[in-house]
Structure 1
């Protein structure tokens, strides 16, 4: 079973011991961020810094001026690391230490892009835009994401990529000073609040478009008053009870088709840019109605398209994805290993083909010791 840990370029830049320390854990590879969203991150072992504040989504390599010239939607350069190519420098150091490097690319999650281009973002049933969530049904977003995927994924010397947020983002978002948890919506409520009603999506709902927005608001009203979601055998059953089977099916059909077209464009662009043997995995959840950094995917269709899936909550998601394996498919279990962020000591997941460990740069020394013990 091959193992990889997630890493930021700043975990390596300026630390001459970082690459050797990671190699000493026994990892096969590192999944290194080349295009990533805004964050504030700890660097507990770095000789010079402790906190990195990435103020906005950015790419960590020199973006091509020719590719992006004249484009409204385009990636932003970072300005908080003293390097013209943080990804390239970190990747070189890791490879010299004997660690294979794959890229980590965040696609449909970019708050700065959404603030500057609100018409390209998810618009909820109340007319409010989610700046962190580009609408993946919109042609300009698909074009932007495909070009970003090709450029950010296929960096010199890398052997593969993992595409995060390659699908619908929704209401859930780790926003600064977040204050939206006062009313617990549950997964059905999250779905309703994540439905997009921009002009493209409204057309996509077909004959149900006129009534769907009204139905969503009516279904949410009892939840705002503290009511519970209806009882049903599963999450989707609760959505159907709230919306009605016909409108719910129309909403899901549009979103599933749009997400698949977005994924086909992104994966196709990477394939066209990459050398033979370059691996493409998507972060995804086999419950197709879900949204977020691990967006819902049609596992059968995506595993025919990409080389595999990186799955959250493997105890829940692996059994859903496993029946759709193809020869050569990779199902990787994504394990949170940072105790201070709610993770636990890593353990082998025998049903998985590979393990992903989140996150080697954020981990304490005790967390790294647990990783080393597992991989020994």
Structure 2
């Protein structure tokens, strides 16, 4: 049962004790960010700092100028971690402590990309742009994401990767100072608010027999009761069909699902093409509900398990939540990594890790992920250290 802890390079760079401290947790692997979105993060054990402000999405290594020559879209360099290649510096230190290193690559999530290239963003039915959400139906965005996946995943000293946000992003997003909870939006309303109406998506809807103007009108009409407080805030695909109607809902999913699957196939193939050998593991952060958007992208379980080496699934919470994400993968060969939040202050429950992980294993999980060793408090890490011997 391989167990990996998520980490940022800035948790290691400048802290000579960080790698040994991580190894002392009892994990075998670290999933280390190589391309990440903007964030403000605590570094509670670093000897020199307590806060890192990553001002925009960026790569945590020097991007290859020759690779990106001629590309209109290219990754942004970081400036908040000292050194030319903080990913490589952190990876070397972690490997020196006996830990295997896999890269952690965030793809379709970049507010700076949307701000500087507005035509790359998802556009909702009201004409609002989501600068944090690149539209994966746009050819330039797709080309950028596939190239980024190949470069950011296969870094020196890395033996595998996890691709996050490798699919549709949409409305749901912890944007700076979010003020979006005044009206409760369930899965159904969020799906409608995540439908894109950029030029490429409008053409795509036409390819599955939809008139994009009629669809946009239908989406806005379906959401009116939600804004008035009298409509469905339900969850699950049946709630989407209730709001939009089964015919329209299913047609949008056909279009969006095909685009997401083709991006995932291309990204995985690009990573494998860049990898040093056939043993390089490629996993996707995923959700088995194809209509879902965000970091854990909606997937078709059979398709993604035949495309990648496996998936990382969100497993924090009640038994029913784990059953919902792991159940659809039952009987499929590949890595099923159960991802547990172990940061109490962020809703995690490290104290119940033994019980929760055992439940995930009973449902088919064969690896564990722990989010996030750099952000967790001392007591949280003690709970993890105590739990891991019981999970072997």
- TM-score, normalised to structure 1, is 0.97
Would the aligned equivalents of 1:75 and 1:148 in 2 still touch at CA under 8 Å? Answer: yes
Residue aligning to 1:225: 228
Residue aligning to 2:24: 24
Please state if 1:321 is matched with 2:329: yes
In structure 2, distance between residues paired with 1:228 and 1:201: 27
- Map residues 136-151 of structure 1 onto 2, 5 A cutoff: 136-151=136-151
Please state if 1:368 is matched with 2:381: yes
Would the aligned equivalents of 1:53 and 1:80 in 2 still touch at CA under 8 Å? Answer: yes
Residue aligning to 2:267: 266
| Per-residue deviation, residues 277-321 of structure 1 (Å, max 9, x unmatched) | 100000010000000000101111111000000001333200122
> CA 1:218–1:370 in structure 2 vs 1: closer, same or farther (change >3 Å)?
same
Would the aligned equivalents of 2:171 and 2:194 in 1 still touch at CA under 8 Å? Answer: yes
Residue aligning to 2:242: 241
Give the match's secondary structure for 2:239: helix
Give the match's secondary structure for 1:103: strand
In structure 1, distance between residues paired with 2:284 and 2:54: 24
| Per-residue deviation, residues 161-186 of structure 1 (Å, max 9, x unmatched) | 00000000010101111101000011
Residue aligning to 1:276: 278
In structure 1, distance between residues paired with 2:242 and 2:15: 55
In structure 1, distance between residues paired with 2:85 and 2:168: 29
- Quote how far apart the aligned CAs of 1:10 are: 0.3
In structure 2, distance between residues paired with 1:264 and 1:56: 27
In structure 2, distance between residues paired with 1:342 and 1:182: 21
| Per-residue deviation, residues 243-300 of structure 1 (Å, max 9, x unmatched) | 1111111100011000001111111100100122100000010000000000101111
Structure 2 residue ranges without an equivalent (≥5): 316-321
- Tell which deviates more after alignment, 200-209 or 70-79: 200-209
In structure 1, distance between residues paired with 2:270 and 2:199: 26
In structure 1, distance between residues paired with 2:129 and 2:213: 19
- Quote how far apart the aligned CAs of 1:230 are: 7.3
Residue aligning to 2:348: 343
| Per-residue deviation, residues 214-259 of structure 1 (Å, max 9, x unmatched) | 000000011001123177xx61111112111111111000110000
Would the aligned equivalents of 1:230 and 1:242 in 2 still touch at CA under 8 Å? Answer: no
Give the match's secondary structure for 1:205: helix
Please state if 1:290 is matched with 2:292: yes
Would the aligned equivalents of 1:149 and 1:269 in 2 still touch at CA under 8 Å? Answer: yes
- Map residues 122-271 of structure 1 onto 2, 5 A cutoff: 122-206=122-206, 207-208=209-210, 209-229=212-232, 235-271=236-272
Q: CA RMSD in A?
A: 1.1
Residue aligning to 1:357: 370
In structure 2, distance between residues paired with 1:230 and 1:290: 15
Structure 1 residue ranges without an equivalent (≥5): none
- Quote how far apart the aligned CAs of 1:210 are: 3.1
- Quote how far apart the aligned CAs of 1:204 are: 1.0
Please state if 1:6 is matched with 2:19: no
In structure 1, distance between residues paired with 2:325 and 2:81: 37
In structure 2, distance between residues paired with 1:366 and 1:54: 26
In structure 2, distance between residues paired with 1:299 and 1:141: 24
